[in-house]
Amino acid sequence: MQIDRKARLKIPFQPVPKQDPKERVKNWDEVYLGYDLPTAQLEATRCIQCPAAPCIKACPIDNDIPGALLKLEEGDVLGAAEVFRATNPAPDMCGRLCPQEALCEGDCVVGKVAIPVAIGKLEAFIADQQQAMGGRPIPQLPPPTGKRAAIVGSGPAGLAVAEQLALLGHGVKLFEAWPRPGGVLRYGIPGFKMDKRHIDDQVDYLHQLGVQFAYNVRVGYDVTIDELFDQGFEAVFLGQGAGQGNRLNVPGEDLEGVYMATEFLVRANLPPEELPSHLRQPIESGKRVVVIGGGDTAMDCVRSALRIGAREVVCAYRRSETEMGGREEERRHAQEEGVLFHYLTVPIRFVGDDSAHIKAVRFQRVELGEPDESGRPRPVPVIASDFELEADTVVIAIGYKVEKLLFQTTPDLKATDWGTIATEETGQTSRPGVFAAGDSVRGADLVVTALADAKRTAAAIDRYLGEKKSATA
């Protein structure tokens, strides 16, 4: 039955049920409980099927959103999943992790007169339903090409490149520095945002495509890129991400109880057996936790701190809420869960007790001045405005950069001025046969942009391997 636009616009927005904040801080389960099928179909029917579909253009991987939602509306959930999967290797993850308000939903035409269609939540619902109905069909693979590619890092970019190359008949082996696969998906994103079974599902699928995995191998240290070529790999993809936390460089940063965000997050929300031996000791829950930073990682840290039993959690940020970089939804969730926000405050010193353990953070108040190189107003210190906050745990979450190791051990691998890997549009680096994409090229960014870059780069690797084949045939 055809439903006209006016009727579609009259359907009210269908929110996704959520865990109550008081309950959810006691567990690591996802905040959103998910749609049921009739509600998801009703929400999908709010899509007015506009021919211009600006949502598609706003999606970094060009998902055919109206096409998928029409199939869901008609009750063809598996058909809807195939539409999303035609362009997106990880619709379950993107549906949960994309900042939809700045991407597809931000450009949704319905959003001009009402709440935009819940594209992300519907994408996640559709992918989850497909998984619950037995998962993706395993395609018939082409005959093996006899070419092998090594993938460094099993985060979003590495998994996506591995999938695409395996589907083209290439031999693929993924090298992961941590004990389990997933990179930032497992070790950076807490379970309350995305259940880790989504990573396991993707890895199971890749196993079925014949992809091999090696864990606890740090490429650049345990094995160099040149040694990978010596082992018979003919192309190497660098997708190790940007995992090294930026330091504040203020006195007292090395006190006991002061953590970098990654260490805090992994020790708080992963079981010891999924961690390297030096990180297996669970974090002791401090009563007063101060997190420095204002992006999504800072929100992950404050909310993780609550879940390991902190009584008071403060997020200290050097600008105002308007300039905060992360998702508004993540901030709202943190506020709902009881996190306190101190804006326009900059840490100037960490204060230790007699046993060199953190006991307080000394802050200075700032006000906003002229824009800096990021375009945001520069925080300007307010004279004689220092104050102290008691803290027995501090977490520094002020952004990430690319580790230097690979540049140090790979001759001729060029870096940009920002310390990321220099590549051409195709992902080709300065070393023949070595490609890179995702956060190691862009700096810390979104899962969906890493996937978009990975798809382009996998196509370039395939061309490169094809040319090598014809050259040696």
Contact region for ligand SF4 (CB under 6 A) — 95-103, 141-149, 201-209, 218-226? 95-103
Contact region for ligand SF4 (CB under 6 A) — 94-102, 133-141, 293-301, 458-466? 94-102
91 vs 347, beta carbon nearer ligand SF4 = 91
Contact region for ligand SF4 (CB under 6 A) — 87-95, 291-299, 357-365, 411-419? 87-95
Q: Where are the alpha helices (DSSP H) in 154-290?
A: 156-167, 184-187, 197-208, 225-230, 261-269
Which tokens hold the place of 435? 């490609």
Q: Which 3-62 positions form the footprint of ligand SF4 (CB under 6 A)?
A: 59, 61
Which tokens hold the place of 141? 């693979």
Cβ neighbors of 3 (< 8 A, separation 6 or more) are 45
Q: Where are the alpha helices (DSSP H) in 210-327?
A: 225-230, 261-269, 296-307
H/E stretch holding 27:
none
Q: Which 120-179 positions form the footprint of ligand SF4 (CB under 6 A)?
A: 120, 123
Q: Which 435-464 positions form the footprint of ligand SF4 (CB under 6 A)?
A: 448
**Under rule CB under 6 A, residue 65 binds ligand SF4:** yes
402 vs 444, beta carbon nearer ligand SF4 = 444
Contact region for ligand SF4 (CB under 6 A) — 43-51, 115-123, 307-315, 437-445? 115-123
Closest contact distance (angstroms) between CB of 62 and ligand SF4 is 8
In the stretch 191-210, what mask flags binding to ligand SF4 with x, by CB under 6 A? --------------------
41 vs 449, beta carbon nearer ligand SF4 = 449
Which tokens hold the place of 149? 């590619």
Q: Is the dihedral of CA 466, 469, 471, 473 positive or negative?
A: negative
Separation of CA 81 from chain center: 21
Helix (H), strand (E) counts: the chain:
18, 16
**Under rule CB under 6 A, residue 295 binds ligand SF4:** no
Distance CA 292, CA 31 (A): 23
Distance CA 436, CA 417 (A): 16
Contact region for ligand SF4 (CB under 6 A) — 90-98, 219-227, 247-255, 376-384? 90-98
- Are 305 and 283 within 8 A, CB to CB? no
Binding site for ligand SF4 (CB under 6 A): 59, 61, 63, 65, 88, 94-95, 98, 100, 103-104, 119-120, 123, 448
